[in-house]
A and B are shown apart, each in its own frame.
Chain A
Amino acid sequence: MYILSRTEEMLLISVWKLQDEAYGLSIRTHFSELVGKEMSVGATYIPLERLKKQGFLESWESEPTEKRGGRSKRFYRLTAEGINALSRVKSIHDRAWTGLPNLIFNKSE
């Protein structure tokens, strides 16, 4: 079974979160906020396209807008497979984290 990488996971989460507003720039902004550092265009775009190729995402181009120098946006959306993969990751996480001592408590000490 294919396990998503952390980047891929974060990207899928971003797309899921943004729903109808998930296109290149907004995904990257959200993704950067999630990981806490500015991600480059390449670092976002390449895994996005990979996810698309693997069938977790699908994309379409919007009508061109003036603000973008007449260029279109590429919107992404999770496929059923993508949603599956994401929920699978979440369940793995949940399983892995249940019953562990509280990290935050320890750290604040």
Chain B
Amino acid sequence: MSIYKSSNVIIRVLEWLLPSDMTHLIGDLEEELYNDLERYSALQAYLLFLYRCTVSIPLFLYQSLKWNVVMITNYIKVALRNIKKYKSFSVINVLGLAVSISICLLIILFIYDQKNYDRFHEDKDRIYRITSEFKSSGNFSTHRYATSPANLVDILREDYPSVETATTIRRRIGGEADAGGKVIRVNGLYGDSNFLDVFSFDLLLGDPESALSNPGSIILSKETADKFFGSQDPIGEEFRIIGRGDFVITGVIDTDVRSHLTFDVLASYSTLLSNEQYRSIYIDNWRNSFYSSYTYFKLKKNADIEDLAVQLPGLIETHYDSTPESYLAEFIIQPLTKINIGDSMDNQLGSVMPRLPVYFLIGFAGIIIFVACFNYVGLTVARGLSRGKEVGVRKALGANKGSVVGQFLIEAILIALFSLVFASVFLIYLLPEFNDLQFIRMELTRGISFDIVKDYPVYISFLSFTVIVGLLAGLFPALHLSSIKSAIVLKGLENKKGISKSHIRKGLVVIQFVFSLVFIITALFLNRQFNQFLNAEYGFDAEHIIQLELQDMPYDRVKTWMLGNPNVASVSGTSVVPALNSRSDRRISSDQIEYDAEANHFSVDEEYIPNMKLNLVAGRNFSADLATDVNGPFILSRKAVADLGYSSPQDAVGKYVAFSDSTYPVIGVIEDFVSSDITVETEGVMMQYQPEYIETASIKVLPGQLATVTNYINEEWDDLGSQYSARYAFYTDQLGETYSLLLFNDLAQVVKSVAFFSILISCLGLFGMAMFNAESRTKEIGIRKVMGASDRDIVFLLSKEYLLLIAISIAISLPLTYLFNSFLLQQVANRIELSPLVFLAGIFVTLVLALITAGSQSLRAAKANSIDNLRFE
């Protein structure tokens, strides 16, 4: 009876197409089909039915569409007339909506762009990555890593028949590369010979079968190949990565695609495997091998990923005996297309945008669009008096409620579409600003490209979004104005208040200004907080310090060399430079506490504490003369001492602290300092005298001599015999550009823009409202002036209503702002006080702006010639 079924489909379509009062026609068609089925074969009956439908449908459609088109054309005509007639209102609405729509378009573009990552792979729906979840026993926190054990890939390939092919990627190959007579820094990955089977990157030159097979093979990105070799054919050329070895170029690959995998070079994984020592420590050892390896696999067609997922837990049991400390809890399968925008994970590979900032941006855009829609609602409802007459006449002439609603919705959509035109222009200016935000640059390295503007789905989403905004803005006015009783309006407008809904309009203005105030004050606080970070006490002296990376040079050599310059005051060394967001936390323990404490570990020399002006509060510094100090005793910070459960620094000195598999005496205690991040609470610090682990020389320079010393480094570094070029930075510059600070600055910038746009749009709305109010009270103003009221009286009379609204907004927003900011600032250390002055400043700015916008219209009304006013109408 499949024929009958397909006739059902046609009937469904007809039901959907035809107005409800025409369903009896479908009944007729169905009855006839039924009759025919008795008379003819099923096929014949069905063909007859089909024939009947095809000859009938055009007429139906014509009939039902014709009147709709006539009505819609009429709606559009009337809407355009209204837009033209009330020019100032239209301009205000269009501007407000345009600004907010452009922000939303930006966010849509951003999300669309991000969602487009890794869509170019042929079998993208069958490709997955295995990620790992760890649980640590102490505080039961879980850590999700994008990585997985290195040898998992072999197990997938061999033991799981539903896996078509699997590949492993290992990160961290890079540094200065020497090839084609040039030295340029490159970043890259290791990939195994299945890389090109799983992913659909386009290999421009070279053999896809063998390019990544042999040890010492390397594929360059098109861009990198061009940098080193220009138009020459690079295949077979030598490519040396300093410190990593010599490679032979076996391919050139197109990386100009949107993928979370970003690399300049792709070296063969077999290069790593051929190094026996490396292999046994970092690859074959299941405990060590999961920090840098990524496992991707392609499922067979028709295989079910769930079947695979249930088998993975067994793997963990065979390869790990779960210890109480920290253990691998679970393998989580992640679809390739869900990596970006995706869960935030540790050891993320390449550019991945986490969800949270995206949600934030959507939230902010949503607020702005609401503020703009409120403008539209307020201004349209305010004009309800004059529009009311129109509605009255329409209704008296036979329009039903639905058609009046349609009329107003069409008008709103038209306004929104006009706004879209302007919004697109704004967007061109907004886009570069947005791409300049740090988190975009850091997480994505690319930002939104203009390329995707070529994609037609973007335009469809822009258009449909705009129509939705139009509907959203127009819905309330449409429902409200269409419910006007024609008799009341046409009789003589006694129900004025009800029609112009003044309390709703006032409510909208209040909400708008509450939003604006919250964001303005928050922006001010964030700005202050940022400055607070920049000027905060770090607990050490960063002035006149150059941080020079040792790279392949021994510390002693660099120290003697630097001290040879008369402008260098002193030189010290450390494994980790403090406060630059590099964390080096280790577990330590004492007999005073039950669970382990954490502290950031620094390997330093004896000069480090005096050189950085760290304060020793108890005990002594390391001494170069005592052989026992090397690799042995600890100097702890005050916080670490407290975490270990000692009552005072003096108490801790001489005690033994457990670390790794041994215990070490505490010989000194220093004052706390910012060890990894200025935006987080003070962390404990532990220092050991370990000159051989030093990676950076902190060079203290005489005041005013920074430039001469950097010249000295630039000129003489090469003579030291390093393979690398010199890498150094001024410490004060580095401190101002840490990742956490830049992110915080982004937050401040985004909130600032939200504040700016929301106050701009709110003031536009207030302007319109004031203008409307002044216009509708023209006669009253005229009479008042004739009776002797001064301009000032009139301005006051007209403005006081708005002042009251702003006052209410302030009253509502103060507690909100306080709570919001306390919450926000609770997340960071080195907090500023929520000073009342800042609240006052925000209120002042808002008040001034509101007074200027509302007052200007009131003043214009007051200045007008009262004779003209009274002649009005």
Contacts and interface: CB of A to CB of B under 8 A. Distances in A.
Interface in A1-54: 23-25, 28, 40-43, 45-46
Interface string A62-77: 0010011101111000
Q: Which size bracket describes the interface of A in this complex?
A: 10 to 19
Given A41-B52, A68-B27, A25 B32 contact: yes
A43 to B, nearest CB: 7
A24 B59 contact: no
B551 to A, nearest CB: 82
Given A25-B31, A69-B11, A42 B60 contact: yes
Contacts of B57: 42
A25 B28 contact: yes
Interface stretch (B18-26, B96-104, B631-639): B18-26
Main DSSP-derived SS at the B contact region: helix
Nearest to A70: B27
Contacts of B22: 45
Interface residues of B, number: 21
B56 A69 contact: no
A81 interface: no
Given A25-B31, A41-B52, A46 B24 contact: no
A46 B57 CA distance: 12
A72 B24 contact: yes
Given A40-B52, A40-B56, A67-B34, A73 B29 contact: no
Nearest to A27: B28
Nearest to A29: B32
A67 B25 contact: no
Contacts of B566: none
Contacts of B34: 67-68
B55 interface: yes
B63 A42 contact: yes
B30 A71 contact: yes
A45 B27 contact: no
A51 to B, nearest CB: 15
A23 B24 CA distance: 10
Contact of B59 (A23, A40, A68, A71): A40
Nearest to B56: A41
A24 B30 contact: no
A12 B32 CA distance: 22
Given A46-B63, A67-B34, A72 B27 contact: yes
B58 interface: yes
B24 A42 contact: no
A105 B834 CA distance: 111
Contacts of B58: 42
Contacts of B30: 67-69, 71
A40 B28 CA distance: 12
Interface in B28-84: 28-32, 34, 52, 55-60, 63
B31 to A, nearest CB: 5
Nearest to B54: A40
Nearest to A66: B34
B27 A71 contact: yes
Contact of A42 (B11, B31, B55): B55
A42 B64 CA distance: 11
B27 A69 contact: yes
Contacts of B56: 40-42
A68 B24 CA distance: 9
B279 to A, nearest CB: 72
A53 B356 CA distance: 61
B11 A68 contact: no
A71 B26 contact: yes
B63 A41 contact: no
| Chain B CB within 10 Å, residue with most, of A43, A46, A69 | A69
Interface of B: 11, 22-32, 34, 52, 55-60, 63
Given A28-B28, A73-B27, 7 more contacts: A23-B24, A24-B24, A25-B32, A41-B52, A42-B56, A69-B30, A72-B23
23 contacts: A23-B24, A23-B28, A24-B25, A25-B28, A25-B32, A28-B28, A40-B52, A40-B55, A40-B59, A41-B60, A42-B56, A42-B57, A42-B59, A42-B60, A43-B59, A46-B59, A64-B27, A67-B30, A67-B31, A68-B30, A69-B11, A69-B27, A71-B23
